[in-house]
Homo-oligomer: A and B are copies of this chain.
């Protein structure tokens, strides 16, 4: 059994993650901390994010074939993903608390977590484009 030690790096990585709601990537956290720890390594960020996930302090949000994102809000909540820019947002007006599901599926799979996502075009990307049709000239 592995015992975790407290390091400045890990502490700050969690603090940085808790200070934003932008669901950062490992690289974003690294950029944010490399001035504070000039010798910080990207591998350290990755390893600590994995450890923080094991500890339940952080949730990993997979995005398939692009970079993963991390969220320090571990309470289950839905996300909105923009298919144009890849942005990931919280949807504060929506909740998944009311959706109930069984402990096991009919096939006997044990459910421990429900993940709900909405996909589409985010408000900033909508503004960049004409109301309908293709961009002209």
Contact = CB atoms under 8 A, between A and B. Distances in A.
A128 to B, nearest CB: 13
A107 B126 contact: no
Nearest to A112: B120
A89 B106 CA distance: 12
Q: Which of A61, A82, A92, A110 has the most CB of B within 10 A?
A: A110
A65 interface: yes
Contacts of A94: 101, 105
Given A114-B116, A115-B117, A80 B62 contact: no
Contact of A118 (B63, B82, B109, B126): B109
Q: Specify how many copies of this chain sit in the oligomer.
A: 2
Interface in A74-116: 80, 82-83, 89, 91-94, 99, 101, 105-116
Interface residues of A, number: 37
Nearest to A61: B64
B109 A93 contact: no
Interface of A: 60-65, 68, 80, 82-83, 89, 91-94, 99, 101, 105-123, 126
Given A109-B118, A114-B116, 13 more contacts: A60-B64, A62-B65, A64-B64, A89-B105, A91-B107, A93-B105, A108-B123, A109-B126, A110-B120, A111-B120, A115-B116, A115-B117, A116-B117
